[in-house]
Chains A and B, each alone.
Chain A
């Protein structure tokens, strides 16, 4: 008992201070949101598209990166395109904010990303201070699950925002779906969704749940959560960083302090 108290004192208070303070800086090698510089892109080149394992890149059709598009929802953040690009037109930043409310917003061109917006007022009133989610693992690799459950540890302490994972869909306000939705999980996902009382929301976490990820096109999978349920929040990554998830949730619930909305990251 005394040792437990001593350990408690020694281990200290370890919860992330963000969003009350500016965000922690990621290590140099972290592969976050991709940045595209159209002025450096040549239409004679399609090396990035050829290197991409998930065909997430549509190469430029004209000069100055015209027609170029990178689907962050299919991206595995593997760094292959950055390594293939001879001009530095495409590179990973250390910015982990990339959650979106629209699937189309994940199509990266040269424009700034339209990050997730808040739910409508009715839903915000219902969920803004208490959002209970049922997680459904619909065929992924357990990495998304790993970095979803880490949010409930003292490091992130997601419960301080009133967000938590619950054991039954009957107690839930929505689903957090991971995995590409295998044929063998399709029925279970549908039944879980049906068991959640309305109004309800769906969050698609990770490349698999958004687009099928590395399994896109396999006859064993359905290409993401939206094949079964309507999605309200898209969280790119393979897996998304816990901060990407937390940032997305807080944007959706309109819980980010105004100062954080102005943060700039490179």
Chain B
């Protein structure tokens, strides 16, 4: 264990953000970049206090990652990475950046005070062979090949190995599922601690889809970058590509046209609708209600086909590029898409309403897999899962893109309260309606669709940091880019998919449930394996 115990640390109280810790976090205006020199490194203890305080005051830890400084930014002989934190202070637009410099291959975990840091800290331990002292469950996250040794309490081997949380007692047994699942689903491993049907604990072990996306964005060929972000999570192509484009545009100082903003927003909502409608059908299928399953299975395709008509790909491939969009949408196309959309939305409405009036469906949905608002907030859960538990958290409201469309005058998040499968299903259905209303509103703003589809993005200047935030269909997508000392590319690129925190939410929601309800609970979150594994 450590050579430094908790007793030596100052107690962590709530810190007034107007006080001395305020300076630990530097404001980062959305759609602009900061020179790295503007973010002074400080001792981890100070940054840690500032983050814990900011979250206590209603903020959220958006990203925490290691980066070994290079070039002019590096002190001579810096063997350990700087820890960079991106923190949302809670109010609209308020994002801050902080940086801590390590002087030894270890730091004190903030997870005991801040649960939402737990995976970030495990990730840093895995990527830099650093010990995170007092972390309650310091396991690897993705098991990259040729791993650096993970230090700390929990030993590691290859993917899926290492200790799992276990319980013992009469009648207690363990159920292991995956990595290959029974359906057409991505790969991952679930380990249930059960007593009969009753699930006491679920541990989710991923990493099977790890394919080195972040590393390739830092060192791979430039013309591949946009395709790598498009495939971070293939069902969220528009979401991730837009987050990446915003990072590039923020660093390069590029202003995209209203037309580009319109196309991106339209494509993002189509992506949301396709996925939500598909999941509504799958939720019906998981409780054996075939009418909605059948109708929605077909209708999901209708939304994918709208994306295909817009950009040539059912998954939005090849549309979003830094500087704008590869193809525009002239008024006639916008209206044609809207007409088809309206027809599909009416069919969805009919198909989904069957759920609410079927007692056998609602008996399975109601009260199943509850994630409380407090749990969602503490774990940093985002997206429909967080909103279904009552958290009013939506990047379309907090960080609307551009200025061509008056988002804030028009738009506010919808939420549910119960946090169960029924609430998450309602949430999806209401978000489909909201997306349709958003698209109608977008298409009606003819005056806002000005300018070219794309402008040149310009070159990326060296030694800057910028953030791109997009509300993908699963929730808030955060990309953080640090540009290389030579410029033109990134020396660190951090992706936080909404699933990163969501999986922990699913694990908690399964506690006390029947194991037979797992497929239903899982589908109600429908998280991404590949977006987590990167």
Contacts and interface: CB of A to CB of B under 8 A. Distances in A.
Interface of A: 3-4, 7-8, 10-11, 14, 26-27, 29-31, 51-54, 76-80, 92, 134-150, 152-155, 165, 167-169, 179-180, 182-185, 188, 192, 213-215, 218-221, 238-239, 241
A3 B354 contact: yes
B234 A239 contact: yes
Given A143-B237, A184-B145, A215-B216, 12 more contacts: A7-B295, A7-B350, A11-B351, A29-B309, A137-B180, A137-B529, A138-B187, A146-B315, A150-B304, A152-B297, A182-B210, A241-B314
Interface string B204-215: 000111111101
B294 A153 contact: yes
A239 B314 CA distance: 9
B350 A219 contact: no
18 contacts: A3-B357, A11-B295, A11-B350, A29-B312, A31-B312, A77-B313, A136-B187, A139-B187, A139-B210, A141-B232, A141-B530, A142-B529, A143-B234, A146-B278, A149-B184, A153-B298, A214-B227, A215-B216
A145 B235 CA distance: 10
B326 interface: yes
Interface string B230-268: 011111010000000000000000000000000000000
B291 interface: yes
Contact of B187 (A53, A92, A185, A218): A185
B208 A188 contact: yes
A78 B354 contact: no
B185 A220 contact: no
B207 A184 contact: yes
Contacts of B291: 4, 7-8
Nearest to B318: A78
B200 interface: no
Interface residues of B, number: 68
A214 B226 CA distance: 10
A11 B281 CA distance: 14
Given A27-B308, A31-B312, A78-B317, A139 B208 contact: yes
A185 B179 CA distance: 8
Interface string B289-324: 001001101101100110011111111011000000
B295 A30 contact: no
Given A4-B354, A7-B351, A150-B297, A165 B210 contact: no
Contacts of B158: 184
B353 interface: yes
A10 B294 CA distance: 13
Contacts of A139: 187, 208-211, 530
Nearest to B326: A79
B315 A7 contact: no
Nearest to A5: B291
Interface of B: 142-146, 158-159, 179-180, 182-187, 207-213, 215-216, 221, 223-224, 226-228, 231-235, 237, 278, 291, 294-295, 297-298, 300-301, 304-305, 308-315, 317-318, 326-327, 347, 350-351, 353-354, 357-358, 528-530
Given A7-B350, A53-B221, A220 B211 contact: yes
B184 A218 contact: no
Q: Which of B142, B224, B312, B318 has the most CB of A within 10 A?
A: B312
Contact of B227 (A31, A76, A92): A76
A180 B211 contact: yes
Contacts of B313: 30-31, 77
Contacts of B231: 140-141, 143, 213-214, 238
Contacts of B207: 184
Contact of A29 (B143, B235, B310): B310
Nearest to B347: A11
A158 B357 CA distance: 30
A193 to B, nearest CB: 11
Contacts of B327: 29
A182 B314 CA distance: 25
A180 B227 CA distance: 15
Contact of B228 (A7, A214, A239, A241): A214
B187 A146 contact: no
A236 to B, nearest CB: 14
B118 to A, nearest CB: 21
B205 to A, nearest CB: 11
A167 B529 CA distance: 19
Contact of A53 (B223, B232, B312, B357): B223
Contacts of B180: 134, 136-137, 169, 188, 192
Nearest to A148: B184
A214 B184 CA distance: 22
B172 to A, nearest CB: 26
A148 B301 CA distance: 12
Contacts of B309: 27, 29
